[in-house]
Structure formats: structure tokens, C-alpha cells
Amino acid sequence: MKKVLIANRGEIAHRILKTCHELGIETIAIYSDADKDLPYVKEATIAFRVGEPPVAKSYLQTEVILDIAVREGADAIHPGYGFLSENASFAKAVEEKGITFIGPKSDVLSLMGDKVAARATMVEAGVPVVPGTEKSTDTVEQACLLASEIGYPVMLKASGGGGGIGMQRCEDEASLVNAFQTTKGRAKAYFGNEKVFIEKFISDARHVEIQLFGDQYGNIVHLFERDCSIQRRNQKVIEESPSPLLTEKTRQKMCDAALLAAKSVNYVNAGTIEFIVDEKENFYFLEMNTRLQVEHRVTEMVTGLDLVKWQLLIASGEKLPLQQDEIDHLGHAIEFRIYAEDPVKFLPSPGKITAFSYPHFDGVIIDQAYTEGNSVTPFYDPLLAKVIVHDDNRTKAIEKAKNYLTQVEIEGVKTNLPLFINILGDSSFQEGYYTTSFLNGKKVNGAPSI
């Protein structure tokens, strides 16, 4: 593999570029008009404009992206996360051009990309799933009938969704009726698939995921778990490993279940099985993310491995670099997603970044999407950077994170840095006793965050 096109933007494009260049691989970046001045564009070997700022006119322009890849002689395309990363049609088109898609095969993307089909596959494999509907729900009358059988509260979800988008908690029939058409509309707009389904809402739950890797020779390993329970609007903002509350017995059961899930579909490359865990440590399959995760750096910090390098090696036809008993978990890592957003209302805060500075600590890395002078536009997720902190244990990692984040300075846009300082000082977080509802009613600078 000598040349890779990165079909993405921002911090994940920067992250992939870093490993490619370390391996001596030439890189092709793509950018929209809104992103032409971002750091990753300058870091690539060569970069090409793909269109106007809206994603439908730029980063989802499959034909334009494929034409660039063919014309420039790309050996492979790395989709990053989001955008086209789990688009089975795009992966198939890449394969048909004789270019390597850095991820699983298109048929696996298709199967796991449909959450209803994925649920059925996991049930057949013997993996526990959240109680819910076995088929998509076409009408509001059908949804109400099924929800009454499952029992409220329920989660109404987009079958083709992900990343916390297209999800709505419904406390009763009235809220389900109100949310039904809106959720179908969002599903259609974001994923091109208006199908929705219903799952039981598990209260006081934790969101824990298992990182997996498989190669083309049937070898599959796990790289331990990440706890992603600190969320706003069903989207993760803090992730850590190991999970502070899992017992070793439950951890091993979850890893075994994740391996079973991956083996059931002959999974290749990087993937993640996401579970919901209740207060009694019963765990249930939520979905399979068939791509690199935003929080993959957490796993890198506790294993000492480069997951993008593993992706490239496996996509090149090599076997997994390590067997299961050769992979160690060392210390504790926590990731913080710094967003350009109001830390109280969680609303995006577009604008020009007039200052962006941060300290340099041992055991801390920062992946930037933007730098001083760049503008955050309303067209994309407002993720500015990720800060990943590692230390010998969780207590030390929390203290290091406090020290580091208080020294990060970003001006020109609002950020959620005050939220992180608030969370790190919270006794329940410090003790590891938190669930996905942690941010509900939390206060930042004296004001409720929701």
C-alpha cells in the first residue's frame, strides 16, 4: 500500500495522516470550501476540493471521491468515521474499482448497518440483545401496540442510524406518537432510510463497548473495553478504559460475547460491539460499529498499539500483529471531546477561533481538527479536538486531566471545557458511580446543563 485517499475531514483525517506518513504512505486529502484552510489539508501529500460546504455536496459525493482516487492511483480509501464509513454502497463501489476499502466488506457493512437485521443476527449467534421489536415499525399504530407490549419507557430508533442520531426516548404513548414522524424524517434525512424500530429503555444503565479486530484469515481479538456513559443528547463526550465499575467476571463475559458477535459475521478490520449494562451487570447488544471509533485513542493509550496501523496492515492482507494473550492492558486512559458549543445548552457555537493553545504533558495527546485562525462552520459536527490522558491508575488520570484541561485556552467560540472541569470535580464521577443519565440536571458554573 503506497497511496491512501482519506475520505473524511478534521481530527480523524489528521489522525490517519499521521500514521500513513510514519509508514511512508502517500496521502490524498479531500476538502469542502468550508474546510480549505484546516490543518489536515496542508498535512496531506496532496489535497483536492470535493464541493460546497453541505455534506451532500462534498463529503458524500461518492462519484467525485472515487474519480479522484482512480485518477491519482490510490491503492486504498480510508473512510474514518461518520460520512461514508459505514455506507455499504460506497464500499462496494470502491471494491468494484479495484481499490481497497479500509474496513469490513460491503456485505458486512450492509448487514450491520441495518440495526434490525443486526439484532436478528446477534440473537441467532446467541448474543444477548435489548428487548425490542424484531422488525421495523412502519406505522404509528403499530409502534404504539408494540411499545405497550414491551413496556414504557422505550427508545424509538432509526434502523440505519448511529452516533446517537435518530434516537428518541418515549415515556408514554403520547410522546411516542409525537416523536414517530419526526424520527422517521430524521432517519431519512441523515441515513437515507426512514425505517425505525423500538427497544426497551434500560434505566440507570452504562454504555460499554468492546474494541475488536479481525483479519482475512479468521483471526479475531478484542482490545478490552471502553466506558462511554458520559453523554449529552445520546452522544458520547467522555470515554475511559477500563470501565470503573465492571467486575472482572462481567468484563470477560462481555469480551467473549463481542468475539462471538464478530465471528458470527466473519468480521475483518476494526470494529466495536456496543453494549448497554444495567445496574445488576446484565448486558445487552446495542449495535456494531463497523469502523474506527472516535474514541479509539483510549484503547491505543492502554495497549500501546496503533489501531490505524493495524487497519492498514490488515487491509493490505496481513495477519493480526498480535494474538489475544499478547495484548496487555496498562494503566488508565480517559478521552475528552472538546466541542465548540455552549456548555450549558449544548448548542453549537460556530465562529472564528482567535486563540488555541494547550500545554504539553507526558501521557497526554491531543488530536486537533482546528487551530488558531480557523473558523468553525455550522455544516459539520463542532468537534474541535480530542484530549486523551493516560496514567498508572484512574485517580492519577483524573488529576492529570484536571491539570491539563484547566490550561487549555480556546477563544472566539464557546467550548464545553467548563463542563469537563465540573465533571472531574464531581464526587460520583471520581468514584466511578455514573450512568448514561449522569448529565441530566448537572450544573456548570451554577446553571443547569440541560
- Taken as a whole, the chain contains a residue count of 450
What cell was used for 188?
431519512
CB 49 within 8 A of CB 35: no
Q: Closest Cα to residue 373, out of 356, 391, 388, 385?
A: 356
Q: For residue 317, count other CB atoms closer than 10 A to its CB.
A: 11
User: Has 186 been annotated as catalytic?
Assistant: no
| Contact criterion met (CB below 8 Å) for 28 and 74 | yes
Contact between 186 and 166 under an 8 Å Cβ cutoff? The reply is yes
Q: How far apart are CA 341 and CA 450, in angstroms?
A: 13
Backbone angles phi, psi at 316, to 5 degrees: -80, -5
**Interatomic CA distance for residues 180 and 156, integer angstroms:** 8
Q: How many helices (H) and strands (E) does the chain have?
A: 14, 22
Q: How far is CA 295 from the centre of its chain?
A: 6
Q: Scan for cell 495527546, then name that residue.
A: 365
Contact 19, 309 (CB under 8 A): yes
The DSSP letter of residue 129 is B
Residue 450 in grid coordinates: 440541560
Which is nearest to 267 in space by CA: 228, 327, 326, 210? 210
Peptide bond just before 382 cis, omega within 30 deg: no
Q: Of these residues, 291, 297, 337, 394, which one is catalytic?
A: 291
The catalytic site residues sit at 291
